[in-house]
A = this chain, B = another copy of it.
Amino acid sequence: MSVIAEVTAANDRYAAGFAKGDLPAPPGRKLAVVTCMDARLDPARFLGLEEGDAHVIRNAGGVVNDETIRSLLISHHLLGTREAVVIGHKGCGMLTFTNDEVHEKLGPESESIDFQPFSDVAERVRQSVEAIRSHRLLGDGFGATGFVYDVGSGRIEPV
């Protein structure tokens, strides 16, 4: 069975038991989570989030960049969230390469792309938290807190 057929079948089972069809769009817990796309991370499970609780923004590295800010501005100003948690993780793939290495692997057409690798997860989380706290359009009390998730233990630790 193809992966598409598998996830469609899994969705049939989810929809058959679905009883959350009347949730409002604004996150009930007024929280936005920013974390990595890494397959080992299930932030809803590891933070105890139910459908309707929190925005979840994910990208390669769980970094806060201009595009993450776009999502956070919508989250805060249009949908009422009050704070973000930024969660990096041990064993992140972004620690394992440089831009030069990816440009070499993918060829000249990739050279205009900054893949945004980093060499220290906790430090990158601190930079992301600071980027939120100091943003000129998030200065009205929107909070930010940083954590590192340990893929070996399932535990988050504050940074």
Contacts and interface: CB of A to CB of B under 8 A. Distances in A.
A107 to B, nearest CB: 8
8 contacts: A4-B83, A6-B48, A7-B31, A11-B154, A11-B156, A15-B154, A38-B55, A109-B136
Contacts of A56: 37, 39, 58
How many copies of this chain? 2
A39 B21 contact: no
A97 B78 contact: yes
B55 A79 contact: no
Contacts of A152: 21-22
Contacts of A97: 78
A7 to B, nearest CB: 4
